[in-house]
A = this chain, B = another copy of it.
Amino acid sequence: MRFFSDNAAPAHPKVLEAIAQANRLDTAYDGDDWSRRLDGAFSDLFGTEVRAFWVTTGTAANCLAVAALCPPYRAILCHKDAHIEVDEAGAPGFFTGGAKLVLLDGEGAKLTPGAIGDACGRIRNDVHQVQPAAISITNATEYGLAYRASEVAAIGDLARQRGLALHMDGARLANALVSTGDGLADMTWRAGVDALSFGFVKNGGLNAEALILFRTDLADEIAIRRKRAGHLLSKGRYLAAQLLATPEGALWLDNARAANAAAQALATAAADRLVYPVEANELFLNVSAEEAGRLRGAGFDFYDWGPGEIRLVTSWDQQGEALERLASAIAAL
Q: What are the residues of chain B within 8 A of A72 when measuring CB–CB?
A: 72, 90, 93-94, 97
Are A201 and B91 in touch, CB under 8 angstroms? no
Q: What are the residues of chain B within 8 A of A4 when measuring CB–CB?
A: 27-28
> What separation, in Å, do the CA atoms of A235 and B204 have in the docked complex?
11
Are B227 and A59 in touch, CB under 8 angstroms? yes
A190 contacts partner chain B, Cβ-Cβ < 8 Å: no
Q: What are the residues of chain B within 8 A of A235 when measuring CB–CB?
A: 7-8, 11, 201, 206-207
A229 contacts partner chain B, Cβ-Cβ < 8 Å: yes
**Cβ of A211 to closest chain B Cβ, rounded Å:** 11
> What separation, in Å, do the CA atoms of A316 and B232 have in the docked complex?
22
A26 contacts partner chain B, Cβ-Cβ < 8 Å: yes
**Cβ of A62 to closest chain B Cβ, rounded Å:** 8
Give a binary string over A96-115; 1 marks a CB under 8 Å from any B CB, 0 the rest: 11111001000000000000
**Cβ of A32 to closest chain B Cβ, rounded Å:** 8
> What separation, in Å, do the CA atoms of A16 and B232 have in the docked complex?
21
Are A57 and B7 in touch, CB under 8 angstroms? no
A23 contacts partner chain B, Cβ-Cβ < 8 Å: yes
Are B25 and A230 in touch, CB under 8 angstroms? no
> What separation, in Å, do the CA atoms of A318 and B79 have in the docked complex?
45
> What separation, in Å, do the CA atoms of A227 and B60 have in the docked complex?
10
Q: How large is the interface on A (under 10, 10 to 19, 20 to 34, 35 or more residues)?
A: 35 or more
A231 contacts partner chain B, Cβ-Cβ < 8 Å: yes
Nearest neighbor of A75 in chain B, beta-carbon distance: B90
Do A228 and B89 form a contact, CB below 8 Å, given A4-B28, A207-B238, A235-B11?
A: yes
Nearest neighbor of A61 in chain B, beta-carbon distance: B230
Q: What are the residues of chain B within 8 A of A98 when measuring CB–CB?
A: 90, 93-94, 96-98
Residues of A1-35 contacting chain B, CB below 8 A: 2, 4-5, 7-11, 16, 19-20, 23-28, 32
A223 contacts partner chain B, Cβ-Cβ < 8 Å: yes
Residues of A107-149 contacting chain B, CB below 8 A: 127-131
Are A230 and B91 in touch, CB under 8 angstroms? yes
Are B10 and A28 in touch, CB under 8 angstroms? no
Do A7 and B28 form a contact, CB below 8 Å, given A56-B56, A228-B89?
A: yes
Are B127 and A8 in touch, CB under 8 angstroms? no
| Interface-centre pick from A9, A26, A73 (highest chain B CB count, 10 A) | A73
> What separation, in Å, do the CA atoms of A19 and B235 have in the docked complex?
15
Are B24 and A5 in touch, CB under 8 angstroms? no
**Cβ of A129 to closest chain B Cβ, rounded Å:** 7
A233 contacts partner chain B, Cβ-Cβ < 8 Å: yes
Q: What are the residues of chain B within 8 A of A10 when measuring CB–CB?
A: 23-25
Do A93 and B99 form a contact, CB below 8 Å, given A8-B235, A230-B63, A234-B7?
A: yes
The 10 closest A-B pairs by CB, nearest first: A93-B98, A60-B230, A7-B234, A97-B97, A59-B230, A8-B28, A89-B227, A89-B228, A127-B227, A90-B130
User: 15 additional contacts, CB 8 Å, given A23-B206, A95-B230?
Assistant: A2-B25, A4-B28, A8-B28, A10-B24, A55-B230, A59-B230, A87-B128, A88-B128, A89-B129, A89-B130, A91-B228, A93-B99, A94-B97, A94-B228, A103-B103
